[in-house]
Structures are given as C-alpha cells and as structure tokens.
Amino acid sequence: MDYHTFDIPAFQTAGGVTLDLQLAYRLYGELSAARDNAILVLTSYAAQHEDATALFAASPTLDLSRYCVIVINMFCNGLSSSPSNTPGPHDGPRFPAITVGDNVACQHRLLAEHFGITRLRLVMGFSMGALQAFEWGSRYPDMVAALLPICGAARVSPHNYLFLDGAKAALMADQAFAAGDYDVQPQTGLLAFGRVYAGWMFSQAFFRDAHYRALGFADVEAVVKFAQAYFMRRDANDLLAMLRTWQHADISANDRFAGDFVAALRAIRARAIVMPGETDLYFTVADSEFEVAHMPHAELRAIRSPFGHVAGSGMDPIGKAAIDAAINALIG
C-alpha cells in the first residue's frame, strides 16, 4: 500500500448522516519541522493520488526537496471512504450523499490535527480537484496562501449538471446495475457511461482536427475505448457517488453564506490564478471570469488548447506548460 489513512469517527455530513469515515492520502517530499512547506493537491473525478501526480510531475518550480506535496483522495474514489469499501448500513447505494464541503472539512482535520499544519503554501486541483480548491479558499481563507483551480468552478452550472445526469442515466439503465445492489460490476452500463463521457472530455476541435493523434489515438473510437477503460477501473456506485458530489458543488451552499455566491467568492483571500480551458465543455471561461471578478486577489489565465477539459489534467503539453508557469508565479 503506497498511501496512509486518517480516521474521522462519527462525522456528521452536511445532510445530517453520522458515520465513521477514512481519508487516504500520500506525501511526496518531506514536511518541514516548521510545517510551513506544505502544498495540497486534490484529486479529480474517478482519480486517485497516483493520477494527480501528473499535475506536478517534473515541475521546474515544485521541487520535492523543498516542498512537501500532500495528495488527499476525495471520498468515493475507492481509497477514501466509498460505497465500495464501507460496511453496512452505509454500503453500496446506501452510502450517504457527501458534499465538497464534507470533503474539505475532513481534509482540514487531517492537516490540522494529524500534521499540525496551519498554513498551506498552495492549494491546487484539476476538475473536481478545482471544486475542492475553491471550497478550501472560501472555507479556510486564513490557511491558504495561494490557490490554483484548474478547469473547474466554484459552483457547478445547470448545463454541467445536466451532462452528468446523462452519463449517470446511461450507467443506471443497465439491468445488471440492479439499483446499486449488484453482485458483479454492470459492464454494459460502465461501457455506456464511458462512451457518453468521451464526447465531453475533449473539445469539438479535438475530434474535428484529429488532435487525438497527438496523444497516440488512431481514431475517435480509440478515444472512446480510452475513456471506457478509465472508468472500468472504478466501482459503479463509487462513480455515481462522486458524480453526486460534483453535481451539488457550490461554495455558498452552507450556513455561513446561505447561498450568497458572491460573498463566498469574496471570502477567498488567497492569491489565486484561476485556469479555465478555452475549449472546456464542462466549465466555461465566462464562469471563471465571474469568479475572478469577485475574488479579491485573483487572476484569470485561460489555457489555450484544443484538448477541451483534459487540457488541465497534465496530459496535454500545452496545458502542462501553462500549469507549471502558474505554479511558478504563485510559489516561485
């Protein structure tokens, strides 16, 4: 096992369910005696800590002899508490709804209680990792020095919600899914899920102009098979539980802000570089422009790439260079 775990007993979710939870995490580099060199990297949809290393691997600025990168696996990704690894009565489809805020509250406990960290040099993440990064900046403004949300949003749009609903419907339509009480993974549903998702991961130009060849894909069907293989690694209930977290992401959906989205954005005091993808079909530049306009110390840097949402994942050389430059600007 290449990761550690942290127990959170009797945690009460935003929805009012109390259960024992566990976070899985991994450190890259060593935490200083002063606990002042920590960088937090948050995982994206269906990703685990090893996937997240693509964001900082070979970074010319993020020197692991100088910084300690802590990657925390979000709930429902199969390593941290998830439908697939939680005993009854919260197993499988009975696993409670977990919000982005629930994730961040538990992550804060890990860093504060276990490591004694009071200040993070940088909080960054791609996609769902960006949703968590925004939540960190708003919920714990005194703890976050710098913020780098990549291809994400502080609040999910209705259009993004609907896309996710379509992927969910494709998976759940498989009779083998059995309302989540399956004995074997619903293969047909997972393959359908991956096919729906593939069309949204990348941009129209990515397919039209055959940019997929730069990633080694021979044709469009090869891209589909890549997406299918990615999701076939995961449990179906885990995928749906993470998707539910994503659909309800909103940094103002809590007692402190009571739905005042602008106030929640203004609460982010960290120096921030917000990085949407110009061709991202999930999270738009227009949404990022609104966020940056209401964040006191934020800058917009759109990734100019035809790779769509994946431009921010570390797979795209153009996107990776932009991410490295942003890291350098924030901590270099």
Q: Are residues 292 and 238 in the same domain?
A: no
How many structural domains does the chain have? Answer: 2
| Cβ–Cβ under 8 Å, residues 239 and 171 | yes
pLDDT attached to residue 208: 97
pLDDT digits (tens, 9 = 90+) for 234-246: 999 999 999 999 9
Tell me: cis bond preceding 89? Omega within 30 of 0 counts: yes
The first and second tokens of residue 242, run together, are 């993470």
For residue 185, CA distances in Å to 196, 224, 239 come to 18, 19, 12
Choosing from 309, 313, 316, 324, the catalytic residue is: 309
The segments of the chain whose pLDDT lies below 50 read: none
Verify whether residue 250 is a known catalytic residue. no
Q: Are residues 74 and 201 in the same domain?
A: no
Domain end (from 196, 224, 243):
243
Verify whether residue 280 is a known catalytic residue. yes
Cβ-in-10-Å burial (0-12, 13-18, 19+) of 61 comes to middle
Q: Are residues 44 and 150 in the same domain?
A: yes
Domain end (from 196, 220, 243):
243
Choosing from 280, 287, 316, 324, the catalytic residue is: 280
Q: Are residues 36 and 52 in the same domain?
A: yes
Q: Are residues 217 and 199 in the same domain?
A: yes
Q: Are residues 48 and 124 in the same domain?
A: yes
Q: Which 8-state DSSP code applies to residue 279? A: T
Non-local CB neighbours of 307 within 8 Å, separated by 6+ positions: 202, 203, 206, 211, 277, 279, 315, 316, 318, 319
Sign of the alpha-carbon dihedral angle for 294, 297, 300, 303? negative
Q: Are residues 137 and 230 in the same domain?
A: no
Task: Count CA atoms closer than 13 A to 329's CA, side-chain side.
Answer: 17
pLDDT attached to residue 9: 98
| Cβ–Cβ under 8 Å, residues 69 and 56 | yes
Q: Are residues 71 and 136 in the same domain?
A: yes
Structural domain containing residue 94: 4-157+249-331
pLDDT attached to residue 332: 82
- Residue corresponding to tokens 């005696």: 33
- Please state, in angstroms and rounded to a whole number, the distance separating the CA atoms of residues 30 and 13: 32
What's the pTM?
Answer: 0.97
Verify whether residue 81 is a known catalytic residue. no
Q: Which 8-state DSSP code applies to residue 332? A: -
The first and second tokens of residue 217, run together, are 């894909």
Q: Are residues 256 and 228 in the same domain?
A: no
pLDDT digits (tens, 9 = 90+) for 25-54: 999 999 999 999 999 999 999 999 999 999
Q: Are residues 134 and 276 in the same domain?
A: yes
Q: Are residues 71 and 101 in the same domain?
A: yes
Domain end (from 243, 270, 285):
243
Residue 258: count of CB within 10 angstroms of its CB = 10
For residue 61, CA distances in Å to 46, 92, 190, 304, 323 come to 27, 42, 38, 21, 11
Q: Are residues 14 and 78 in the same domain?
A: yes
| Cβ–Cβ under 8 Å, residues 258 and 62 | no
Choosing from 127, 252, 288, 313, the catalytic residue is: 127
Domain containing residue 60: CATH number: 3.40.50.1820
